Amino acid sequence: MSNNVKEFTSADFKAEVLESDSPVLVDFWAEWCGPCRAIAPVVAEVADDYLDKVKVGKLNVDNENQIASQFGVRSIPTLLVFKDGTVINQIVGSVPKNRITEILDSVI
């Protein structure tokens, strides 16, 4: 995993995601999820590519199921894009990198 991908928890989610000055891409995932493992390298590449533009992090739904439930995450991987504390876009499933970058480019 890239050093540029943060690990979000309930302890820091509000400060890191909801109160962030920049857009945030949150990857809702679990260790046992094959598609989550498949998209992880893509998320890491995006974190490196958008280093100074978008904050990128992962949230383990097994450890943080209340946050996942709060945002209606019912299947994983789910990528949510937050801006000014609001979900502005969502991607469900393992998708190509260009699908993620198209969405991020539209919010920065």
| Mean pLDDT of the region 42-68 | 97
- Does 1 have pLDDT greater than 90? no
3-state SS of 12-29 is CHHHHHHCCCCCEEEEEE
Burial 85-103, CB ≥16 within 10 A → b, else e = eeeebebeebeeeeebbeb
Which tens digit of pLDDT belongs to each residue from 70-88? 999 999 999 999 999 999 9
- Does 89 have pLDDT greater than 90? yes
Active site residue 33: yes
- Does 90 have pLDDT greater than 90? yes
Residue 22 tokens, joined: 């920049």
Out of 17, 24, 25, 33, which one is annotated catalytic?
33
Query: Number of folded domains in the chain?
Result: 1
CATH code of the domain covering residue 28: 3.40.30.10
Nearest alpha-carbon partner for 28 in 55, 64, 52:
64
Out of 17, 36, 79, 80, which one is annotated catalytic?
36
Residue range(s) defining the domain that contains residue 40: 5-107
Looking at residue 2, its pLDDT comes to 76
Active site residue 5: no
